[in-house]
Amino acid sequence: MRLLAAGRLLGATAAAAAQPGISREEALAAVFPGAAIDADRVYLTEDQRDAVAALSRQEVPGRIYARYVARRGGGGAVVGRAYVDTHVVRTKRESLLISVDPRGRVLRIDVTAFLEPPEYVAPEPWLRQYDRRPLDDDLAIQRAIRPIAGATLTNRAVNGAVRRVLALDRVLQAGAQQP
């Protein structure tokens, strides 16, 4: 009896999580409170795309990314950036809004669209283990990131998206510093 009730509760929780309850605007306001948010699209050159693929060790399926830059204060100091990564989990798409701090570390991951069945969505507590993580060799499943049991495809999809976004941010910031 208890097992059945727990199963129903977990099923209800997964169903609620699969329908993202947060828009990009709400997620950005939560992670960068009081900041002015500028939205733009990034168009990667072939060289940038190759650099992102090499740094992330992930396939880079597209060349266009939505980017949000958060600024605060009279001088418009950048307090962070966020990128949308849309990818296939199993057979359908998921969109993650991955927010990073000025140093290029993960601030927060928000699921803004999830078209797979509800049981495949990554739980929020699992996503929080990426918080404050930089792009390094430890940013991997079975290293700094604990896997979700029985969810290999979800593990891979989210970890790949985070690595891709952190590499993208690093490449774009390096390009912004060049004359």
Residue 163 is predicted with a pLDDT of 98
User: Which tens digit of pLDDT belongs to each residue from 60-74?
Assistant: 989 999 999 999 987
Residue 176 is predicted with a pLDDT of 74
Domain layout of the chain by residue ranges: 2-177
Residue 20 is predicted with a pLDDT of 57
Decide: helix, strand or coil at residue 136: coil
Closest CA to 161 of 135, 126, 123, 137: 135
How far apart, in whole angstroms, are the C-alpha atoms of residue 78 and residue 69? 7
Residue 177 is predicted with a pLDDT of 67
How far apart, in whole angstroms, are the C-alpha atoms of residue 169 and residue 140? 18
Residue 179 is predicted with a pLDDT of 53
Residue 118 is predicted with a pLDDT of 85
Residues of the chain with pLDDT under 70: 1-21, 177-179
Are 41 and 64 within 8 A, CB to CB?
yes
